[in-house]
Each structure stands twice: as C-alpha cells, then as structure tokens.
Amino acid sequence: MDTESTIDKKYREQLFRCYFRNPILKGSGKSVKWASPCPFCSPASKTESRRNEKVSALIWVDAWNTWTFTCRRDACPHRKLSFPRLIEELNPQLYKKYQQERYHAGSTGWQTNCPNPRDSVIPLPSKHQEKQAKSKNSRSQGTGFPRSNGNQRNPKSQGSQGNPTGADAPQDEDQQGI
C-alpha cells in the first residue's frame, strides 16, 4: 500500500471525510482494505445496526496500484467500482478534478483505470469536412468502382448527379449477415 499515488491518497481521504463512516484499515502488507458502511446502500437500511454494518470495502489491488470498491449487499446499486468510478458516482464534480489531476500527471488513458478527460481529445473535423468525407464514402459504395482522379477537377458535377446511394447500404449488410 505504500505505492498508493499521492493523487489517489488525497482523494481517498476526501471521500472518507465526506462519504464513509469510520473506515477501518484491515489486513497488512499488500493485502489491505478499508472496511466501512456502504456510502450507497447503508443509509437506506432500516436499523441502526444494519446502517453501521461494515458491508463495503476499498480493497487494495497491488497489481494495479490502486483501490477497488466493493459492497457485499445484493441490493446495492454499486457492488463493484474502480476507484475513479467510485469518485464519479459519489461526486461527479470531484471526479472531474481528480481526472484532470491524473491527466496532468500522465496517468490517464490506455492501460490505466482512468479515461482521458473529454476536452483533451483532438477536436472533430468541422461539419463541412465531415460532410465531404461522408458523401465520398457513400458514393464509392453506390457505384462500385473507384472514381478516377480526373473527376476531382469538377466536384460540382459529382454532387449534381445526386445518386441517393444510401439505399444500397442495407443490402450490403444483409449479404454480410448471410
């Protein structure tokens, strides 16, 4: 557990302060967990003893150097969550901050438990470009032969042919299905 990242530690402590009642560290070495009442399903329990029962745990996953949340109650809406998903379910705004910190630390994306923030993604091509790309695709599907380079000189005449080639697409799918 000594390899818990400083970011995870900071946010885990924040979650503990706000959402977990009296978490207790159990185990030792690499197999440790924080046991506590579940932040999702325990408050709805009818009796005080049921509410205090330590049914959930934040379990250390050594191979991933991170925590996984689990709850053992069948009726719990979140019986298993990765640590980032746990933050997101409890507090979406806090999750955004967490994700940004992870992103700037270079620990989001491929082979991590945290996806890249959306605004880090390369912007989509403009609508005009998108339209061009789409019409090119449907045209080549419809005619069944590649356009020669000569046609690129007057793209207007291509467009005015107005072949509603989209109708061909479902047939292709059917053939693939058989």
**Cβ of residue 17: shortest distance to Zn ion, in angstroms?**
19
In this chain, which stretch among 19-27, 36-44, 102-110, 156-164 interacts with Zn ion, using CB under 5 A? Answer: 36-44
**Cβ of residue 89: shortest distance to Zn ion, in angstroms?**
11
160 CB-near residues (< 8 Å, 6+ apart): none
35 lies in the site for Zn ion, by CB under 5 A: no
41 lies in the site for Zn ion, by CB under 5 A: yes
Identified binder of Zn ion from the candidate list 1, 32, 61, 76, rule CB under 5 A: 76
Sign of CA dihedral 141, 143, 148, 150: negative
100 CB-near residues (< 8 Å, 6+ apart): 117
38 lies in the site for Zn ion, by CB under 5 A: yes
40 lies in the site for Zn ion, by CB under 5 A: yes
Q: How many angstroms separate the CA atoms of 51 and 56, rounded? A: 11
20 lies in the site for Zn ion, by CB under 5 A: no
**Cβ of residue 75: shortest distance to Zn ion, in angstroms?**
8
**Cβ of residue 88: shortest distance to Zn ion, in angstroms?**
16
In this chain, which stretch among 14-22, 74-82, 122-130, 159-167 interacts with Zn ion, using CB under 5 A? Answer: 74-82
The pairs formed by 1-6 with CB atoms below 8 angstroms and a separation of 24 or more are 1/29, 1/30, 1/32, 1/60, 3/62, 3/65, 4/60, 4/65, 4/66, 4/67, 5/65, 5/66, 5/105, 5/107
**Cβ of residue 37: shortest distance to Zn ion, in angstroms?**
8
Please report, as ranges, the residues that interact with Zn ion according to CB under 5 A.
38, 40-41, 71, 73, 76
